[in-house]
Structure 1
């Protein structure tokens, strides 16, 4: 990782993704999590304060040392045991059926091989477990999608590979995960080109 990716980008992500307006959405996303949870894209730990009491531990997947450093205060105050358990969501270092649930917030946009990451989630979360997600992605209306396509090359350069145009519900379906609930909306106060918010839960297996 270069200086920008390790020293600058984590602070930008912590600032933009740490907006207070997103806290209620993070709380909604984490509601219902239980047991052992793998969190893809732990970042600076912006979900720590909204984990429900039913979570017994978090296995954090986070490639950025800078992001992990920013999380130190939240880690120290967490009620839930949290371990940095891996660096790459596309290659999870766990046995099959290890976790009760998975959590991902504003992460699927940056993973280079999203199908591989979702296949890994499906592998390590037990049958009947859930995947809780809060992700932005392709907009529901064509004029905004046009701007997303125009802006995406810039976004990817300045925001750590972030894609604006990923179809989050479609990616879950392609991975064989069943979306059992989803709320899609534009977040007030943010540009529509950032995309539609996708807040929901998917089920693993039958």
Structure 2
């Protein structure tokens, strides 16, 4: 369960990245969203101002502290945004509900990411898309080992964030097809456009 401290400091520590490269990565990713959108793990609402050509965004976030910090960003969005307190592992929607499902920097923290991926797949329409921006296990053996070494400490500081999850492999093994993949920071971050198989 997320504590009170992490939500308070999240935006502060992420600000240098969010004002730099992350801003263009998020904008590019979310320009591909269309129709009705589900955002999984919306956090402090950093994505909300970037939604443009969509009908509505339904945001799922398990932390009440994060939701409270995100409320002000709903006012910066030009599209309607509804925030629901719920976990990614049990999405309260029927099958094939959303045109687009979005998750950014969240699969690293979800306790059961494979279940969350299956839920995202379930609620996404058959002709819909899943858009992800995540940090992942690096291909460089030395850097991957460094991620393994740092993860136990990192999880304690960052409320369960796993630096070394092989998210790309997990996506492929859960019946999802990667249509487009872009990498950043020597492969530490990936931007993915995905469809159901």
**Secondary structure in 1 aligned to 2:75?**
helix
Alpha-carbon distance in structure 2 between the residues aligned to 1:161 and 1:28: 27
Task: Find out whether 1:15 has 2:15 as its counterpart.
Answer: no
Q: Is the contact between residue 3 and residue 159 of structure 2 (CA under 8 Å) also seen in structure 1?
A: no
CA deviation after TM superposition for structure 1 residue 7, in Å: 2.2
Alpha-carbon distance in structure 1 between the residues aligned to 2:185 and 2:175: 26
Change (3 A) 1:160 1:69: same
**Secondary structure in 1 aligned to 2:107?**
coil
Task: Find out whether 1:155 has 2:147 as its counterpart.
Answer: no
CA deviation after TM superposition for structure 1 residue 28, in Å: 1.4
TM (norm. structure 2) is: 0.93
CA deviation after TM superposition for structure 1 residue 92, in Å: 0.3
Alpha-carbon distance in structure 1 between the residues aligned to 2:56 and 2:13: 26
Alpha-carbon distance in structure 1 between the residues aligned to 2:145 and 2:174: 26
Q: Is the contact between residue 86 and residue 93 of structure 1 (CA under 8 Å) also seen in structure 2?
A: no
Task: Find out whether 1:197 has 2:189 as its counterpart.
Answer: yes
Deviations 1:6-25 (A, max 9, x none): 42101232233442111111
Residue in structure 2 matched with residue 47 of structure 1 by the alignment: 47
**Secondary structure in 2 aligned to 1:172?**
helix
Q: Is the contact between residue 97 and residue 125 of structure 1 (CA under 8 Å) also seen in structure 2?
A: yes
**Secondary structure in 2 aligned to 1:77?**
coil
Q: Which runs of 5+ in 2 are unaligned?
A: none
TM (norm. structure 1) is: 0.89
Q: Which moved further from structure 2: 96-105 or 24-33? A: 24-33
Residue in structure 2 matched with residue 192 of structure 1 by the alignment: none
Task: Find out whether 1:134 has 2:126 as its counterpart.
Answer: no
Q: How many residues are aligned here?
A: 194
Q: Which runs of 5+ in 1 are unaligned?
A: 188-194
Alpha-carbon distance in structure 1 between the residues aligned to 2:10 and 2:29: 19
Change (3 A) 1:126 1:86: farther
Deviations 1:40-90 (A, max 9, x none): 1100100011112x2111111101111111112111232111112341000
CA deviation after TM superposition for structure 1 residue 186, in Å: 1.1
RMSD, aligned α-carbons: 1.4
Alpha-carbon distance in structure 1 between the residues aligned to 2:85 and 2:6: 20
Alpha-carbon distance in structure 2 between the residues aligned to 1:12 and 1:123: 33
Question: What stretches of structure 1 move > 3 A for 4+ residues in a row?
Answer: none
What are the residue-to-residue correspondences of 1:23-62 with 2, within 5 Å?
Answer: 23-52=23-52, 54-62=53-61
Alpha-carbon distance in structure 2 between the residues aligned to 1:17 and 1:75: 19
Q: Is the contact between residue 102 and residue 131 of structure 2 (CA under 8 Å) also seen in structure 1?
A: yes
